[in-house]
Structure 1
Amino acid sequence: MSAFAGIRIVELAHRVAGEYASKLFADLGAEVIKAEPPGGSQTRALSPFVSGTSVPFLYLNTNKKSVAIDLDNSADRSVLASLIAGADVVLHDHDEAWEQRHGLDPETLAARHPALIHCAVMPFGRGAPANLQQARPLNVMHASGWGYHTPSEADPVRPPLKGAGRFLTDYEAGLEAALAIAAALIARERRGEGRTISVSDVEALISRSDCVLGRMLASEQEPGPERTRFDMGGPGAVFASADGHVFLLMTTGQHWSGMRKLMGEPAWADAFPSDWLEFQCTRERVETFRQHFRAWVSTRAKAEVSEQAQRLKVPLVPVNSAPDLHADPQYAFRRYFRELEGLLYPTVAYRMSATPACLTAPAPKLGADQALPATAGNTVPRGLAPNAIGVAQPRPESAPVSQLRQRGGPLAGVRVLALTKVWAGPYAGKLLALLGAEVIKVESLANLDEMRAYGGESIDSAPYFLSINQEVLSVRVNTKSKEGLRQLRRMVAQSDIVLDNLRPGAMERAGLTYDLLRKIRPDIIQVSIKMYGSEGPLAHQTGYAPSFAALGGLTSLVGYEGETPTGMNIRYGDSTVGATAAFAALAALRHRDRTGEGQFVDVSAVEAISTMAGDSLFAHCATGITPKCDGNAHPEMAPHGCYPCANGEWISIAVADDVEWRALCLVLGIDADLYAAAGQRLAQRVPVDRAVAERTRTHDAADLATALRTVGVPAFRSQSSLDLIGDGRLWSSEFFRFVDDRHGGQRPVMGTGWRMTPGEAAVERGAPALGEHDAYIYRELLGMSAKEYDRLVAEQAIY
């Protein structure tokens, strides 16, 4: 049985964001009905094409059905009403004016269908000014701060970049929407609650920078207009090898020791102190190292040198392109690419032992399922009939919900035991906590989360940790102690989900494999995040988020046209992996609620990053053309880029047609007839960009963006870290909010890309002190006596 079997979603999307969100459900068994306008979804017109069909459309719409609906026709509106009456979810990515015009606004739908889940994905979320909702992915990227801070170590005179491919911002927003919908479905099937969900593309993207921007928000790092504010520092960069490129990230003395061995202990390295990466990482040393390393690696094959580096625990990895991924043995082992009607499709980053994602049908022809409405009209909430499927085995009851504090939210009553560190795993736990789950972070002084060690006056005041763990509980368990492990197993018996992102082999050494966990609790769900997944020829390898982007194909897509790839900002990746894992966890939970069956969810961080360029990977399969870094170019829009403004600022502008071109020219004083037709502008993109840049450079970026949006041209200032923190919309929408800092004060933190009514979870508590909730976990949940608790503390099983 598929994870979302029995769920019907009516999708009215005209952007990639909505189509990608529903694709995630369709590939896990939901019935997704595309209600398309008579001419078809706008994505059907996106290039490239194979056999006359849009490649992006093919990728985004596997396993879906299509019905042509003219919303201006009363008979068709009746058809849509019938479809919605039989649906669990209505999903769209239009603006609020469109909703009102067609009677698809939250108030109308909630009145007619109280148990319906209604999700709208908009560039700036519900309530934003109408002219902002015309934003395109380029504008979203720059409104979120990621564009301004891409690439790392940016040359201030060169334009910021759009990121990987055409649709990365849509994929992030679609993933955010899918996560919120999955949580709402679980609540609906448990309690019969309908919900309205609003997702902001921009806020979803900003939320992925929580442990970077979050520290600036809390004044633990100074924000500023510099484009390097998201950077990590150090010698990490992309370097040309004999047959492509490699990415190197070095941050520790151990990395430096391994690097010296890798290069054969060169004499020039003797001038570097052993701790230079941690304490003496000057610009001069970085440049000297890069100069020598660049010459050394340029004569070596990327696969060979990367394999040698892995054996020495040096984070040096190949920069993979689409052909590399198709030849990758790990991707082949995990069957990341699946064949359907002669084409190889990228799939998903999670292998689910009981409910795997499947590709069973290609994207539908327009109106292929026109007869479907005749069978619709199910007014009974479809998710509220579990007995129609049957429960495979009785589910052990969780311990009572914590009396510590009732927070509400769609995941109220769900308990997650998190053995997670650094960013990806904790981010997944944070998302589940913000949806209302009780997330218990397992920690110990003997094995601290590294985030507690970075900055701050103590392990309880480390800025990175504080930025990413709000509404999470902390329990001390010494997993190096036999008695500590026994108590941990007792916690497993009281939990619904076990989440981990420990190094390969760590869970096995602790006796916490899935086979052993389900002996403790038969319906347990284990979600495990590894760089390459838990099984396969490369599963033993480990690395960092910048490595994920290089290995997963994103780095090869980002850079100035015709030059060495630069990759996304070095900070990008961990949080996307965490969001992917959180969605997979909820898919497994929904299946367990219906059948009583738990499962093992094996998440590959590298594959999670690959999905953020899924259409690019699929385009290579379909056309044979290898996608490469293309600066800010777009195959269908010109001008499309980031242009200089006064005072060192930049503006993102994306022009799709002749009407927008003429409006742009009117504001900037350009002769529109010079490049009157779209074809001319695409063919002469360089002089077009030059003409636009000559006129924008004297304008204030924010004022010019407002003027352009007023006449219908999608434009937005490229926002720095300082701009984001001062953005009034983010404060008024409560994306930035305050939580208790445990010292009687308040700490500002970042929220998520969704808003949900009714019954959003309370978010009021900041990150926990180490072991802050020991008494609650041991005494209340496990029923331990005070004497026994004191004994375990004395024996350092609780430590």
Structure 2
Amino acid sequence: MSHTLPLAGIKVLDLSRALSGPFCAMILGDLGAEVFKIEPLPGGDMVREWGPFAGDTSVYYLSGNRNKKSVALNFRSSEGARILREMAAKVDVVVENFRPGVMEQMGMSLAELHALNPALILASITGFGSHGPKSSWPGFDQVAQGFAGFMSFTGSPESGPQRVGVAIGDLTSGMWAAVGVLGAVIQRHSSGHGQKVETSLLASLMGLLSVQGQRYLSLGEVARPAGNVHPVIAPYGVFEAQDGPLTVGAATQDQWVKLARLVGLENLVSDPRFLTNADRVQHRTELKALLEAPLGRQDRATWTARMVEQGIPAGPINDIADAFAEPQVQALGLVETFEHPTLGTMRQVGNPVTMDGLRDGTVRLPPPLLGQHTSEVLAEFGYPASQVEEWIRNRVVMQGGPL
């Protein structure tokens, strides 16, 4: 049985580069939108130059650009800028992550775009927002992680502030922007009009502060690095077993009682230091030491099995290789295999959302080569082949290969 993709029929012009905007556009592509990745000449998206490389292809680029068609276009030429505006008049969504003011310099402000296409949705991602005293700051992920307070409570007291191990500001701003685009698409059904959807690395990370942010807003508590312990629940964190660390999360009173009994420390249940969760959080260091004594007598696999059997959340700390080898990951079909035009068979983590329209998998198009679809896409937008050939000769556009 075939299923219609959720965003089938939606056309997206992806003007973005690096990670935040491309990740947004990739999510829309995963959901069925037709995404045209417009890359500047001569080198294309800057991320193509970032290592490490599979052959001569950046794996950073590969990670954020499936389900797109690449058009290589000289942004800086007057003819290229005109083509870009004409294409924007014929799509549903434009995604960009330029510095504030660049779209206006290109003649593609919201007002100018809506004059061409009133139904257009403009998704804009910046580093620090489009207004305010820091709006002109360069938008780099680690800078935003530090600015938003994320690094201040990530890490341990010994390590001090630490960045999250992926570019979480870029990725989450792309996700927030994609959510906003979906909302704008739905609203357009009733209003008939497009709108600007805007977020930033700063705003996206502030939006993820969760309990750490609420602790400050409600109680004035400033979170500090706490390592691998949960900020407000104990025992919940990393504990050493006989053969290495595992994570245990006894988040409820019932789970705590079961854990204490399981490891042979039932007497701790009535210990005044550990009666309530608040007591256990206050004495978490002592509790960790007490729990690790019996945990150190058996391996992680044994403890994990026994805890899960009792309904206590637990699991090993896998490295990336362990995670991809995990039978549960394989059972969920999270890794998809497809053919790349130069790399051959390659694998990629697909979209983690499961729904009827995505039952056949995520990857319809592999991450494209630079300018791979230039002629094809320009023909789709109504430009005659003779005109495209002239643009190729004049280096306004470039046709890459193979198709």
Counterparts of 2:105 and 2:360 in 1: how far apart (Å)? Answer: 36
Q: In the TM superposition, what are the counterparts of 1:175-324 in structure 2 within 5 Å?
A: none
Partner of 2:275: 678
Displacement after TM superposition at 1:653 (Å): 0.7
Partner of 2:32: 436
- Corresponding pairs, count: 390
Partner of 1:596: 192
Matched AA of 1:531:
G
Counterparts of 2:371 and 2:98 in 1: how far apart (Å)? Answer: 19
SS of 2:156's equivalent in the other structure is coil
Partner of 1:664: 259
Matched AA of 1:673:
N
Partner of 1:626: 222
SS of 2:95's equivalent in the other structure is strand
Q: 1:466 to 1:635 in 2, by over 3 A?
A: closer
Q: Is the 8 A contact 2:241 2:297 kept in 1?
A: yes
Q: 1:693 to 1:797 in 2, by over 3 A?
A: same
SS of 1:755's equivalent in the other structure is coil
Runs of 4+ displaced beyond 6 Å = none
- Alignment pair present for 1:697 and 2:296: yes
Q: Is the 8 A contact 1:525 1:601 kept in 2?
A: yes
Partner of 2:376: 776
Could you give the per-residue CA deviations for residues 678-732 of structure 1, whole angstroms, max 9, x where no partner exists?
A: 3353342211101122232343323321221111211111121121121122222
Partner of 2:153: 557
Displacement after TM superposition at 1:562 (Å): 8.2
Displacement after TM superposition at 1:444 (Å): 2.8
Q: 1:693 to 1:567 in 2, by over 3 A?
A: farther
Could you give the per-residue CA deviations for residues 770-799 of structure 1, whole angstroms, max 9, x where no partner exists?
A: 1111122111x2222222111101111103
Q: Is the 8 A contact 1:651 1:718 kept in 2?
A: yes
Partner of 2:392: 793
Counterparts of 1:559 and 1:759 in 2: how far apart (Å)? Answer: 37
What is the TM-score when the length of structure 1 is the normalising length?
A: 0.46
Could you give the per-residue CA deviations for residues 582-639 of structure 1, whole angstroms, max 9, x where no partner exists?
A: 0011111111121111111221211101111134323322223333333344465321
Counterparts of 2:311 and 2:251 in 1: how far apart (Å)? Answer: 11
Displacement after TM superposition at 1:743 (Å): 4.4
Matched AA of 1:725:
F
SS of 1:443's equivalent in the other structure is strand
Q: In the TM superposition, what are the counterparts of 1:536-575 in structure 2 within 5 Å?
A: 536-561=132-157, 564-569=160-165, 571-575=167-171
Partner of 1:491: 87
Q: 1:539 to 1:483 in 2, by over 3 A?
A: same
Counterparts of 2:108 and 2:160 in 1: how far apart (Å)? Answer: 43
Unaligned stretches of 5+ in structure 1? 1-405
Q: 1:636 to 1:672 in 2, by over 3 A?
A: farther
Equivalent in 698, 705, 709 of residue 308 of structure 2: 709
Counterparts of 1:761 and 1:428 in 2: how far apart (Å)? Answer: 21
Counterparts of 2:15 and 2:55 in 1: how far apart (Å)? Answer: 21
Matched AA of 1:794:
R
Q: 1:486 to 1:567 in 2, by over 3 A?
A: closer
Q: Is the 8 A contact 1:736 1:749 kept in 2?
A: yes
Could you give the per-residue CA deviations for residues 417-461 of structure 1, whole angstroms, max 9, x where no partner exists?
A: 0011111111111111110001110013335212211243776x2
Q: Is the 8 A contact 2:169 2:202 kept in 1?
A: no
Q: 1:796 to 1:601 in 2, by over 3 A?
A: same
Partner of 1:311: none
Q: In the TM superposition, what are the counterparts of 1:457-476 in structure 2 within 5 Å?
A: 461-476=57-72
SS of 1:691's equivalent in the other structure is helix
Counterparts of 1:662 and 1:690 in 2: how far apart (Å)? Answer: 17
Q: Is the 8 A contact 1:475 1:770 kept in 2?
A: yes
Q: Percent identity?
A: 26
What is the TM-score when the length of structure 2 is the normalising length?
A: 0.89
Q: In the TM superposition, what are the counterparts of 1:321-332 in structure 2 within 5 Å?
A: none
Equivalent in 351, 358, 368 of residue 752 of structure 1: 351
Counterparts of 2:231 and 2:39 in 1: how far apart (Å)? Answer: 49
Counterparts of 2:296 and 2:18 in 1: how far apart (Å)? Answer: 41
Counterparts of 1:457 and 1:729 in 2: how far apart (Å)? Answer: 27
